[in-house]
């Protein structure tokens, strides 16, 4: 049941942040999503490992989306805190993804190829949905290239995140057996 609620709360956080960005009102969606993440980490069997995973995913996302921004692949609305970085609401979404790796996406553990394929498909679809809802725009240029760029980032991301979680799980089990 926890995996079900992880999925539901991820979706709620995603929609809240996207709608907030589209309306230039991200404060409450970001705050509530961060509160959920705090509770998720606190209730985790290994809060230290979960916090580490969420922070690593956040940093990956910050770098990835900032790269996409500077390459002109996407343009985000509500650019706070800086026009030179991806926006805070996107940082929150990446951290939220980190909460799914050992939650609703745990079934992908040991299946990095499948994770990569799903990431490469679902990443661009998610960005496209957010753009259609008004949270940003595709950059000027070839939209196929833009989808491929986002797909590559997400196709690499999910297997990487899964490997981080597997490594943390092995360490946790070694320390507690």
Average pLDDT of 48-72? Answer: 96
For residues 155 and 54, what is the distance between their CA atoms, to the nearest angstrom?
A: 18
Question: Is residue 24 classed as helix, strand or coil in its secondary structure?
Answer: coil
Cite the beta strand spans of the chain per DSSP E: 74-76, 136-138
For residues 51 and 40, what is the distance between their CA atoms, to the nearest angstrom?
A: 9
| Model pLDDT for residues 62-116, shown as the tens digit of each residue | 999 999 999 999 999 888 888 899 999 999 999 999 999 999 999 999 999 999 9
Please provide the distance, in angstroms rounded to a whole number, between the alpha carbons at the two ends of the chain. Answer: 26
Q: Is the pLDDT of residue 173 over 70?
A: no
């Amino acid at each position: 049941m926890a995996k079900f609620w992880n999925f539901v709360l991820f979706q709620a956080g995603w929609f809240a942040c996207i709608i907030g960005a589209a309306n230039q009102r991200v404060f409450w969606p970001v705050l509530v999503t961060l509160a959920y993440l705090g509770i998720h980490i606190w209730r985790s069997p290994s809060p230290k490992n979960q916090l580490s995973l969420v922070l690593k995913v956040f940093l990956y996302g910050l770098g990835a989306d900032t790269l996409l921004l500077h390459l002109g692949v996407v343009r985000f609305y509500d650019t706070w805190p800086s026009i030179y970085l991806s926006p805070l609401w996107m940082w929150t979404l990446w951290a939220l993804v980190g909460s799914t790796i050992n939650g609703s996406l745990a079934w992908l553990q040991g299946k990095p190829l499948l994770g990569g394929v799903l990431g490469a498909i679902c990443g661009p679809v998610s960005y496209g949905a957010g753009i259609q809802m008004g949270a940003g725009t595709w950059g000027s240029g070839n939209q196929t290239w833009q989808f491929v760029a986002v797909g590559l980032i997400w196709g690499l991301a999910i297997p990487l995140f899964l490997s981080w979680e597997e490594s943390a799980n092995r360490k946790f089990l070694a320390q507690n057996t």
